[in-house]
């Protein structure tokens, strides 16, 4: 282990990964997170949140910002202590062994692999307005569109192949554009048309600030894409092994990206609500803003569901702004797709390093890019171009899977305090014993509010992952590459997954449009659901604490990893190649 010396910007700390280049500085890492947060979500979420919560969508954004701040703060200490690419999958490996790390790695890899495809699909959907040969009327890709989609994914892979230096240079430029666009929309909407009466207007769905009740406001966090819009903060974790000063850059990125984007999203929601012509709300109400027969329609016939911000700009006579927004509908999702291709590759790289996946995925090129993992990300990403549900429904699955993977890190923060009491902590989170449980509760609540229809699908995806784990273990029986499963330390994960499923099934959130109060059992209401999740959080924390690996075993895993940190080394043999 080396420490930061005078005049030095690159440091080696416990768990550092020398095989990856340290090319991400402060701004590059922060912008990787901000660029990932500001994707297709900001183009849709203001509309969907308004449809589900009315003016109380502002509360939805505030609550979502606080929740992800708690989760991000929990990871700040971990990201500095162990700055490893693919950290979401690797921290559970240190704390509970292979079974827990595979469980978390699988769900987060699957979610990341889907995001790049979703963003590419968003780009092509918007482009269809002037290139109709890309997509069918039902929003599925035509053969020509499929070729373009595969080519765009290949471009993402190519840029990432040449290393994070190329990636960061391109991303930094695009992030400045995206930040500027959000600020421009906020200022233009408020300056040109801002109806304060919209925040209490009488509509067919009800009057006041929260016409759908507080239940609708919290349901909007996962369902309207609010939580999805914050998932990109994870770049501060996933790229931590490639930054030159983890102590400064990781906490700044994890906390700063959520704060900056949270404030912008809240202001954008305020501007969107205020800009809508009041008569549209009194006639059709909040729920009619989108849908098959939208009330909010531009003079040219464009539906608000297609591009709500651009449509509002057109209605307000801001044609120039609408044009910029249609251009941004290509730039913002495209940049996020570029970032998530990088993250997906680093997740499979991390699983290869944990020996939960074939060794080939842990190989890197001379630029420090995990090229076999990039190819895998491209192949799997292309599979997601098959016909899927709407952007909003797919976002729910991606959100639930990603938030599920985040939960383990909030617990690992606490177990490491006991497992590694003497480990150097160059950043120490104050109030961790309060923040970490609240962060885990936030993750559980977001999954609960997503509804039963999302939860059961998520658990099917988790089950498929365990099938792959069994196949990998069986196929590797003679090669002895796969680590021991460590089930006696990781079984608590199954209790957590089962608890999420049971709490959701008993609750009142369905996750199906038009069925706001149609949970499977519908045993308890809004408050009862919160209480149930508090109980679940306490049980999971207790079991995870009980199952943690002994300190000497954690040290052994870390030392084994440290021996493998040689540039160009082969993780399966511990020998340089």
Q: Supply the pLDDT for residue 45.
A: 87
Percentage above 70 pLDDT, the chain? 79
**pLDDT, mean of residues 69-73:** 92
- 295/246: higher pLDDT: 246
Q: Supply the pLDDT for residue 338.
A: 76
Contact (CB, 8 A) for 67 and 402: no
**pLDDT, mean of residues 400-428:** 90
Q: Which pair of tokens denotes residue 21?
A: 């280049």
Q: Supply the pLDDT for residue 299.
A: 46
84-to-89, 111, 243, 379 alpha-carbon distances in Å: 10, 19, 10, 25
In a domain, 274, yes or no: yes
- 227/308: higher pLDDT: 227
**pLDDT, mean of residues 437-451:** 94
- 448/213: higher pLDDT: 448
**pLDDT, mean of residues 385-398:** 63
Range of 53-62, 96-105, 118-127 with top mean pLDDT: 53-62
Contact (CB, 8 A) for 20 and 245: no
For the segment 527-564, what is each residue's pLDDT rounded down to a tens digit? Answer: 899 999 999 999 999 999 999 999 999 988 888 654 44
pLDDT band of 434, cuts 50, 70, 90: very high
346-to-68, 77, 353, 374 alpha-carbon distances in Å: 22, 20, 10, 8
| pLDDT beyond 80 at 517 | no
Residue 125, C-beta contacts closer than 8 angstroms, at least 6 positions apart = 135, 139, 306, 391
Q: Cα separation of 124 and 351, whole Å?
A: 31
In a domain, 21, yes or no: no
| pLDDT beyond 90 at 259 | yes
pLDDT band of 416, cuts 50, 70, 90: very high
For the segment 272-299, what is each residue's pLDDT rounded down to a tens digit? Answer: 999 988 888 887 777 777 654 445 555 4
| pLDDT beyond 80 at 133 | yes
In a domain, 92, yes or no: yes
Determine the 3-state secondary structure of 380 from DSSP. helix
Containing structural domain, residue 186: 26-561+568-572
Overall domain count for the chain: 1
- 149/492: higher pLDDT: 492
Q: What is the DSSP secondary structure assignment for residue 569, as one 8-state letter?
A: E
| pLDDT beyond 90 at 378 | no
Q: Supply the pLDDT for residue 155.
A: 85
pLDDT band of 466, cuts 50, 70, 90: very high
Q: Cα separation of 313 and 334, whole Å?
A: 22
| pLDDT beyond 90 at 183 | yes
Q: Cα separation of 225 and 257, whole Å?
A: 17
Mean pLDDT for the chain?
Answer: 79
Q: Supply the pLDDT for residue 487.
A: 92
Q: Cα separation of 73 and 76, whole Å?
A: 5
319-to-40, 189, 190 alpha-carbon distances in Å: 21, 12, 16
Q: Supply the pLDDT for residue 293.
A: 41
- 224/179: higher pLDDT: 179
pLDDT band of 251, cuts 50, 70, 90: confident
In a domain, 414, yes or no: yes
Per 3-state DSSP, the chain is made up of helix, strand and coil in percentages (nearest 5) of 70, 0, 30
pLDDT band of 373, cuts 50, 70, 90: confident
Whether this prediction's pTM lies above 0.85 is answered by: no
CATH of the domain at 369: 1.20.1740.10
In a domain, 18, yes or no: no
In a domain, 1, yes or no: no
**pLDDT, mean of residues 26-47:** 82
Q: Supply the pLDDT for residue 164.
A: 55
pLDDT band of 210, cuts 50, 70, 90: confident
pLDDT band of 392, cuts 50, 70, 90: low
């Amino acid at each position: 282990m080396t420490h930061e010396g005078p005049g030095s910007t690159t440091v080696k700390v416990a768990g550092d990964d020398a095989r990856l280049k340290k090319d991400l500085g402060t701004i590059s890492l922060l912008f990787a997170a901000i660029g990932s947060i500001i994707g297709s979500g900001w183009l849709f979420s203001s509309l969907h949140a308004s449809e589900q919560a009315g003016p109380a969508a502002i509360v939805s954004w505030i609550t979502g910002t606080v929740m992800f701040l708690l989760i991000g703060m929990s990871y700040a200490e971990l990201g500095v202590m162990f700055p490893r690419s693919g950290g979401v999958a690797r921290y559970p490996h240190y704390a509970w062994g292979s079974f827990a790390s595979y469980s978390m790695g699988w769900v987060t890899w699957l979610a990341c692999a889907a995001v790049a495809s979703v963003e590419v699909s968003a780009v092509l959907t918007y482009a269809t307005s002037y290139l109709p040969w890309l997509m069918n009327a039902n929003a599925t890709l035509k053969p020509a569109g499929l070729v373009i989609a595969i080519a765009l994914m290949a471009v993402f892979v190519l840029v990432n192949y040449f290393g994070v230096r190329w990636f960061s240079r391109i991303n930094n430029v695009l992030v400045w554009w995206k930040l500027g666009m959000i600020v421009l929309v906020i200022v233009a909407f408020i300056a040109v048309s801002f109806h304060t009466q919209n925040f209490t207007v009488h509509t067919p769905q009800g009057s006041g600030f929260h016409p759908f009740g507080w239940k609708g406001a919290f349901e909007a966090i996962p369902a309207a894409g609010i939580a999805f819009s914050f998932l990109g903060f994870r770049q501060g974790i996933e790229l931590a092994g490639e930054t030159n000063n983890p102590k400064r850059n990781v906490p700044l990125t994890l906390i700063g990206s959520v704060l900056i984007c949270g404030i912008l999203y809240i202001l954008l929601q305020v501007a969107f609500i205020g800009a809508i012509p009041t008569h549209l709300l009194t006639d059709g109400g909040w729920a009619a803003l989108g849908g098959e027969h939208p009330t909010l329609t531009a003079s040219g016939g464009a539906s608000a569901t297609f591009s709500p911000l651009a449509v509002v700009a057109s209605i307000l006579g801001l044609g120039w702004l609408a044009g910029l927004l249609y251009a941004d509908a290509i730039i913002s999702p495209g940049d996020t797709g570029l970032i998530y291709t990088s993250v997906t590759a680093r997740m499979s790289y991390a699983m290869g390093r944990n020996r939960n996946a074939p060794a080939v995925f842990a190989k890197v090129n001379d630029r420090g890019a995990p090229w076999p993992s990039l190819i895998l990300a491209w192949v799997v990403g292309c599979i997601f171009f098959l016909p899927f549900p709407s952007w909003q429904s797919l976002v729910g699955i991606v959100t639930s899977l990603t938030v599920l993977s985040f939960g383990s890190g909030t617990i690992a923060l606490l177990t490491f305090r006991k497992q590694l009491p003497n480990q150097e902590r160059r950043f120490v989170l104050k109030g961790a014993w309060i923040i970490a449980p609240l962060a885990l509760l936030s993750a559980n609540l977001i999954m609960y509010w997503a509804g039963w229809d999302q939860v059961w699908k998520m658990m099917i995806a988790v089950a498929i992952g365990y099938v792959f784990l069994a196949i990998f273990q069986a196929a590797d029986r003679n090669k002895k590459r796969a680590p021991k499963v460590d089930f006696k330390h990781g079984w608590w994960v199954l209790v957590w997954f089962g608890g999420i499923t049971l709490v959701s099934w008993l609750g009142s959130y369905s996750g199906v449009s038009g069925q706001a109060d149609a949970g499977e059992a519908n045993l308890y209401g809004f408050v009862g659901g919160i209480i149930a999740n508090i109980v679940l959080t306490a049980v999971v924390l207790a079991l995870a604490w009980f199952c943690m690996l002994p300190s000497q075993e954690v040290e052994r895993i870390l030392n084994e990893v440290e021996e493998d940190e040689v540039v160009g080394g082969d993780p399966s043999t511990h020998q340089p190649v």
